[in-house]
């Protein structure tokens, strides 16, 4: 079984909700993390501080890389 992605967002962000809906529709396993919570503080910071943030796990299962829409 694959380690789930991590999606950081808020309920008030239409872009976060859209990304969440796409992941559910495509049945991609993910963990929903609310912005400005202790769980979000433990993740690496993206280059640009906007939401949603998608975290990709490494082989150990920890989030090693995060990306936002403006990541090159």
pLDDT tens, 3-46? 899 999 999 999 999 999 999 999 999 999 999 999 888 898 88
Report the pLDDT value the prediction gives residue 4, as an integer from 0 to 100.
94
Element (H, E) at 40: helix 38-41
pLDDT grade for 49, boundaries at 50, 70 and 90: confident
Report the pLDDT value the prediction gives residue 1, as an integer from 0 to 100.
53
Sorted by where each begins, the domain ranges of the chain are: 5-59
Helix, strand, or coil here: 14?
A: helix
Report the pLDDT value the prediction gives residue 64, as an integer from 0 to 100.
87
Q: Are 37 and 1 in contact (CB under 8 A)?
A: no
Report the pLDDT value the prediction gives residue 71, as an integer from 0 to 100.
53
DSSP state of 37: S
HSE of 16 in the Cβ direction (CA atoms, 13 Å)?
A: 17
């Amino acid at each position: 079984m694959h380690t789930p992605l991590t999606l950081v967002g808020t309920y008030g962000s239409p872009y976060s909700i859209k990304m969440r809906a796409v992941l559910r529709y495509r049945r991609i396993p993910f963990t929903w993390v609310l912005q400005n919570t202790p769980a979000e503080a433990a993740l690496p910071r993206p280059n640009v501080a906007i939401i949603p943030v998608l975290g990709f796990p490494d082989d150990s299962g920890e989030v090693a890389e995060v990306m936002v829409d403006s990541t090159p």
